[in-house]
Amino acid sequence: MNNRLYGNLIFELSQPGRKGYSLPKNRFGDYTVPQELRRKEDAELPECDEMTVVRHYTNLSANNFGVDNGFYPLGSCTMKYNPKINEEVAALPQFQNLHPLQPAETTRGAEAVCTLLCRALCELTGLHAFTLKPFAGAHGELTGLMIIRRYHESRGDAQRRLVIVPDSAHGTNPASAAVCGLEIVEVKSLSDGTVDMDALRLLLDEHGQEIAAMMMTNPNTLGLFERQIPEIAKLVHEAGGLMYYDGANLNPMLGACRPGDMGFDVMHINLHKTFSTPHGGGGPGAGPVGVRKGLEEFFPEVSPYHGNFAVAMRAYAYILSLGRDYLKYVGPLATLNANYIKEQLKDVYELPIDGLCKHEFVFDGLKDKSTGVTTMDVAKRLLDYGYHAPTIYFPLLFHESLMIEPTENESLETIDGFIAVMRQIAEEAKSDPELVKSAPHNTPIGRVDDVLAAKHPVTTYKQLKNEQD
């Protein structure tokens, strides 16, 4: 780690008059920006030589952690390996240089990719039709709920405005329902984390005529397979509602079972999660929405053209490169890896809900609570050992949630290495709790003040300068 350069902003490396560029000759004749449109003073831009720029950004990039650097067990996010062939295919000039407005007869290949991808997604999910337009999972949820709303309206059933959401749901579920102008009713989970059927029956008895849909993810947010889905779907359908599947957790089902066969009517898929597009830092993504036969006429226009085409390209490359023969191992291997880690660690970490999990599971902090070492401390200490931290303090069902999702690609050696480090940290928590509480020690930046960063973010260089003055 280059600590000398780290922490400097490119502005701080600036030297007046230093230049690291030469612009190409103007290819457009004598055209210059009209005087009245020019700025009156020079922009405050950093002035650096080329080597300084190269080193600055290369060093910054080396501080980044990605799945190509090391193990990334971030629960709920499916940070799986993204095969490089996907990038190559998406970057083929024939696809990359397309313009959405070029004549249709010149884009037949791209259209075929979209059609074939939709067909593959139908086969993998057991649904009838897909739209590739939504740009992310949450956008897919909104799109799916718009479809459900229009479906009810088309039947003169516009009073159906309630969406049932389990209390363990991802935050985007209630948020999407609210954005769609619908209201949320929460249904409680049992102590094992699955939907409380009695509570659901009561809810449907009370609000049957107003229910638009129930949103669920399976495996649920605790990584548990909801066995009652066929019964839940039956109850919701009888009440006149539709079943929405949040497909962010599709990975462990891939090749093993299909939402369409379980009774779901509408779903989205996070292509960037299950079908391998690099998506750390919030993008890019794609959230195609699939529907049961008859609902495709309600597809709304949520984006121009074909959505995030490059992500669709990657997903299609991924599906073809694994093929039918190997896609069927994705879910089972992801499940095996998660269960292996859980079983190897549950004597030192608190496992609030025991039993078979799917792709992920949740610990409620260290088993020994007497040390005062929290989930946050464990997560920070993991960074010292070169691992990305798991998801922490989500789901909200437990105080010290630590949510681990290994994905199918990790080798036994990688997983054993992670288990050894998790055990080592549990040991340190007993023998030297301060070491864990003050971690990380080996990263360029130590422990940051999250609250201050959230409440008082410094986002511009000027602001930073003024703060220091």
Ligand X SMILES: *Cc1c(COP(=O)(O)O)cnc(C)c1O
Build a one-symbol-per-residue string for 367-386: x at contacts with ligand X by CB under 6 A, - elsewhere: --------------------
* DSSP H or E stretch at residue 340: helix 309-345
Contact track, ligand X, 236-255, x by CB under 6 A:
----------x-xx------
Instruction: Give me 43's structure tokens.
Output: 């922009």
Q: What is the DSSP string of 110-162?
A: HHHHHHHHHHHHHHHHT-SEEE----SHHHHHHHHHHHHHHHHHHTT-TT--E
| Cα 254 from Cα 407, distance rounded (Å) | 12
State in angstroms the smallest separation of the CB of 261 from ligand X: 20
Q: Which CB, 405 or 410, lies closer to ligand X?
A: 405
If phi over 0 gives left and psi between -120 and 50 gives alpha, with beta otherwise, what is residue 355? left
**How many Å apart are CA 267 and CA 63, to the nearest integer?**
37
CB of 223 to ligand X, least distance (A): 11
Least distance in Å: CB of 77 to ligand X?
6
> Which residues, in sequence order, are bridge partners of residue 403?
362, 391
Site mask, ligand X, residues 269-308, x = CB under 6 A? -x--------------x-x---------------------
By CB under 6 A, residue 314 contacts ligand X: no
Residue 19's alpha-carbon distances to 52, 372, 453, in angstroms, are: 11, 53, 34
**Cis amide linkage into residue 284, ω under 30° from 0:** yes
Stretch that binds ligand X, among 10-18, 59-67, 134-142, 299-307 (CB under 6 A): 134-142
Write down the least CB distance from residue 165 to ligand X, Å: 11
Shortest spacing between CB 426 and ligand X, in angstroms: 27
Q: Considering the complex, what minimum distance in angstroms separates the CB of residue 387 from ligand X?
A: 20
Among residues 52, 131, 172, 375, the one that binds ligand X under rule CB under 6 A = 172
- Identified binder of ligand X from the candidate list 76, 125, 277, 407, rule CB under 6 A: 76
Alpha-carbon gap, residue 7 to 249, rounded angstroms: 37
Q: What is the DSSP letter of 42?
A: -
Is 136 near ligand X (CB under 6 A)? yes
**Tokens read off for 349:** 């970490």
Query: In the structure encoding, which two tokens stand for residue 99, read together?
Result: 């313009």
Which of 80, 133, 160, 170 is close enough to bind ligand X by CB under 6 A? Answer: 170
User: Is there binding between residue 406 and ligand X (CB under 6 A)?
Assistant: no
Cα 421–chain centre separation:
25
Q: Per-residue x/- marks for ligand X, 194-233, CB under 6 A?
A: -----------------------x----------------
Cβ proximity to ligand X: between 270 and 335 the closer is 270
Chain residues binding ligand X by CB under 6 A are 76, 136-138, 170, 172, 217, 246, 248-249, 270, 285, 287
